[in-house]
Amino acid sequence: MVVLLFAGCARPPVAAPVLHLTDAVIEGEAVWSGEVRITGVVVVKRSGHLTILPGTRVLFTPIDRDGDGIGDSELLIEGGIVARGTPEQPILFTSAAENPQKSDWKFLYLNFAREGVIEHIISEYAFSGIQVHFCQASVKNSVFRHNVDGVRFSTVNLEVSGNLIHDNTHGLRFEERRGRAHVHRNEIRDNDIGVFVVTRSDDNSLIEYNNITNSRLYHVRLGFDQSGDVTLPRNWWGSADPQEIRPQIFDHEFDEHLGRVAIPEPLPAPLSLTLP
């Protein structure tokens, strides 16, 4: 019996086509997978909903239409978004540049969104890795790196947990403005400023059980209009000695017009975290 083997008979898998979007509007249901390239602003309108599947790569073209040094490509969510990757297949948001830099693109921006579920994403080389405003959302088990702001929010009901936030100008930046966030079990390290409380914080947000370490300038900085006090309990600061931690906190002790940052119950050792 002769067995004939025909090399090359099996057809190679066909790569999914790249989805190119330029200043686009999504008003119904949309599902992204594979590779998506965005130039300009893509808006998911109030009537729209976007699902991004695990392993999807979303690349933003660096364009600066207004000359302010910040890329103008962005993904704006006014409706709903579920971007739920997996540990093995995270969703990537990044610059399309060959040599990416901070602020190549603007942000993943949830503004008055109906739904916001963000899990297992990587967001890098943006002005803000993610901004969340005027909505309820969760940001979990994700990586925010090489951005000006890693995670930024105001006027929200927000949970931020299980994330690795590193090598940004500001790891966490927020204006509380009557909102409330629970920020816990994150690794916030190697940023210029770990936590930047810009203004309008009434100390309603709870930032606890995080490792906040190796900040190049300050672990915590209050913005020049933050006259109220802020409490950050039960975090690891690289030390449990308040005298060692205090020089890395920019508050009333540096500028009498600012509030004071309290760091009660500093943890005696770093948290063991399961991170992406």
Mean pLDDT rounded to a whole number for the chain: 94
**C-alpha–C-alpha distance, residues 200 and 179, integer Å:** 10
**C-alpha–C-alpha distance, residues 155 and 91, integer Å:** 26
Pair type for strands 91-95 and 57-60:
parallel
Q: 87-138: per-residue pLDDT in tens?
A: 999 999 999 999 999 999 999 999 999 999 999 999 999 999 999 999 999 9
Q: Above 90 in pLDDT, residue 268?
A: yes
Q: Above 60 in pLDDT, residue 3?
A: no
Q: 176-196: per-residue pLDDT in tens?
A: 998 999 999 999 999 999 999
Confidence label for 16 from pLDDT (cuts 50, 70 and 90): confident
Kindly state the tokens that stand for 158.
């927000």
Confidence label for 222 from pLDDT (cuts 50, 70 and 90): very high
The helix or strand, by DSSP H or E, that contains position 119, with its residue range, turns out to be strand 115-119
Q: Above 60 in pLDDT, residue 12?
A: no
Kindly state the tokens that stand for 182.
């629970």
User: Could you give the C-alpha distances from 186 to 147, 150, 159, 171, 236, in angstroms and in order?
Assistant: 17, 12, 11, 11, 11
The helix or strand, by DSSP H or E, that contains position 242, with its residue range, turns out to be helix 242-245
Q: 39-94: per-residue pLDDT in tens?
A: 999 999 999 999 999 999 999 999 999 999 999 999 999 999 999 999 999 999 99
pLDDT score of 8: 47
Taking a C-beta distance cutoff of 8 angstroms, is the pair 79, 101 a contact? no
Query: Pick from 77, 67, 69, 126: which is nearest to 97 by CA?
Result: 126
Region of 120 on the Ramachandran plot (φ > 0 left; ψ -120 to 50 alpha; else beta): left
Return the bridge partners of 144, or none: 123, 165
Query: Pick from 12, 144, 149, 4: which is nearest to 70 by CA?
Result: 149
Residues 6+ apart with CB under 8 A from 259: 222, 226, 227, 228, 229, 230, 251, 252
pLDDT score of 226: 97
Taking a C-beta distance cutoff of 8 angstroms, is the pair 42, 74 a contact? yes
Kindly state the tokens that stand for 131.
């901004």
b (16+ CB within 10 A) / e for 19-52: bebeeeebeeebebeebbbbbbbbbbeeebbbbb
